[in-house]
Amino acid sequence: MEATIEVTGLRKRFGPTVALDGMTFTVTPGKVTGFVGPNGAGKSTTMRAILGLDSVDAGHALVGGRPYRTLRHPLRQVGSLLDAGALQPARTGRNHLLWLAHSQGLGARRVDEVVGQVGLASAIRRRAGSYSLGMRQRLGIAAALLGDPPVLVLDEPVNGMDPEGIRWMRGFLRSLAAEGRAVLVSSHLMSELQDTADHVVIVGRGKVIADVSVADLIESASGDRITLLTTARTQAMTVLAHAGATVAVTGADTLTVSGLSGERVVAVLGENAVPFSEVSAHRASLEEAYMELTRDAVEFHAAVAEEAAR
């Protein structure tokens, strides 16, 4: 099976709410693809549509070129974690994995393997009702891995995890992708995906706003801006503005300069004998890039809504 997810033109309404509005993107193997958007953007709905759980009004979602509902042993092709709390509290974690394994023709040995992989061996024979949120997330990851699938669909897997757990999850997801799997991970916080995602699909109001590699995204958000470290802040601002640059204060000793190249900045400062300690190309954080993009999206939507109201 081709380890891809193709989502094409998904539309879905819940009564008056438009949850999906032409959602289209592709998840390719060997990468962690972040699926990011604010609350209510339609991430979970898209994932349920991919897994054949929710029907859609239009469009289709294919896994390895086939609709999920036609897969014979789906967990051997797609591992998923939608809601870590979806457990029968009276059943032990191990028995939860056991019935799932049985449904795919797998045995108890495979259960013990995935339990080891997620580091839950010590708690696995306890009632799932007694698990902490982080333990439930690990159990959910174990369930997703049961069938050793080439595709993984995970809805906010680090939600509720402590920093140590988040670090573990990042490394784990990266190693899964490094094995050649396609990994789709949703989050409503871009920062959660920093150092994890290779690619991001940014969504808002049921459609894709940006579908870019993380490297490209950061580069475009950084623009041609320059970060300047100087103790003579006021003096620097004056001379740079005279030279035609736009200058913003971003810290006590930090200025962000745009409209001038690095060489011109150094030259202008030298000509006017303004002291500075560092001139460097500005590098945006993923969060910054994301904020910039979603701000545009919100404005765009506001304009559309105004038009529609007329």
Ligand X SMILES: Nc1ncnc2c1ncn2[C@@H]1O[C@H](COP(=O)(O)OP(=O)(O)OP(=O)(O)O)[C@@H](O)[C@H]1O
CB of 54 to ligand X, least distance (A): 8
* Residue choice 7, 27, 43, 111 for contact with ligand X (CB under 6 A): 43
* Residue choice 8, 28, 159, 238 for contact with other proteins (CB under 8 A): 28
Q: Does the protein bind ligand X through residue 41 (CB under 6 A)? A: yes
Using the contact rule CB under 8 A, the part of the chain among 85-93, 165-173, 205-213, 253-261 near other proteins is 85-93
Helix, strand, or coil here: 192?
helix
Candidates 89, 92, 71; CA nearest to 80 is 71
* Residue choice 19, 23, 27, 56 for contact with ligand X (CB under 6 A): 19
Question: Dihedral sign, CA of 13, 17, 23, 29?
Answer: negative
Query: Strand pairing of 5-14 and 17-27?
Result: antiparallel
Q: Which residue is nearest to Mg ion (CB)?
A: 44
Question: Dihedral sign, CA of 285, 291, 296, 301?
Answer: positive
The CA distance from 20 to 211, in Å, is 16
* Residue choice 11, 91, 174, 188 for contact with ligand X (CB under 6 A): 188
Residue 37 vs 140, nearer CB to ligand X: 37
Q: Does the protein bind ligand X through residue 132 (CB under 6 A)? A: no
SS3 percent helix, strand, coil of the chain, rounded to 5, is 40, 25, 35
Torsion of CA 275, 278, 282, 283, to 10 degrees: -150
Q: Does the protein bind ligand X through residue 40 (CB under 6 A)? A: yes
Note the residues at the interface with other proteins (CB under 8 A).
Answer: 1-3, 28-31, 48, 51-55, 68-76, 80, 82-83, 85-92, 95, 98-100, 102-106, 110, 143, 147-150, 179-182
Note the residues at the interface with ligand X (CB under 6 A).
Answer: 14, 17, 19, 37, 39-45, 188
